[in-house]
Amino acid sequence: MGTTNKTFALFLSIVIAMSCLNLLIVKPASAQTIPTPSVPQFTVWLSGPPFTFNTTYSLDPNTGKIVANIGYTNPYSLVVLTIKNQPFNPSNGSIYYNVRIENQTTNTPNGNWFVISWGSNTNPEQTTGSDYTNIALNIFEGFDLPTLAGTQTDIQVQAMLGN
């Protein structure tokens, strides 16, 4: 009888241990992952109407001579970015764009990046109901086109998902 009791106790212990293992198994939670927007595809083009800078005159304090700052006419007044829209789920938020420009003629170690902002909206939102988002940048609002004429200029567009 002693052997039967020991066998039964061992069997009962194994059954209890197996049922407890089921409680110890950690099952991964099915958390929703936040999608990452892809790198935006965009084109840049210049648009009118033209604008004119008139000739101005100033007095050079060192020489006492009058200096003429010759005016010019620029055929463009806007830089327009056309960004191909990306599909996204509106329940995850909206897609916003971060745009910055760098003139390659500056020789600063980290570059001279200029982040573009549109009034109080630093990051414009992707247009819904269209295949493209157009972002127009008025040259008079902080973007100096004459210094970029004839130089290599880098433009970066970053897509961000958020609310």
Question: Domain span at residue 57?
Answer: 42-162
| Residue 93 falls inside a structural domain | yes
| Residue 8 falls inside a structural domain | no
Neighbours of 50 (CB within 10 A): 9
Residue pLDDT, tens place only, 19-71? 655 555 555 555 566 677 888 899 988 888 887 888 999 999 999 999 998 98
pTM: 0.58
| Residue 138 falls inside a structural domain | yes
| Residue 62 falls inside a structural domain | yes
| Residue 31 falls inside a structural domain | no
| Residue 11 falls inside a structural domain | no
Residue pLDDT, tens place only, 76-133? 777 888 999 988 877 778 888 888 877 666 665 566 777 776 656 678 888 888 899 9
| Residue 88 falls inside a structural domain | yes
How many structural domains are present in the chain? 1
* 16 has a pLDDT exceeding 50: yes
pLDDT at 145 (0 to 100) = 46
Mean pLDDT value of segment 139-161: 65
Helices and strands in the chain: count of H runs, count of E runs:
2, 10
pLDDT at 27 (0 to 100) = 55
Round the CA-based radius of gyration of the chain to a whole number and report it: 32
Name the residue with higher pLDDT: 71 or 140.
71
| Residue 24 falls inside a structural domain | no
Percent of the chain at pLDDT > 70 equals: 64
- Return the SS3 of 65: coil
- Return the SS3 of 136: strand
pLDDT at 80 (0 to 100) = 86
pLDDT at 83 (0 to 100) = 92
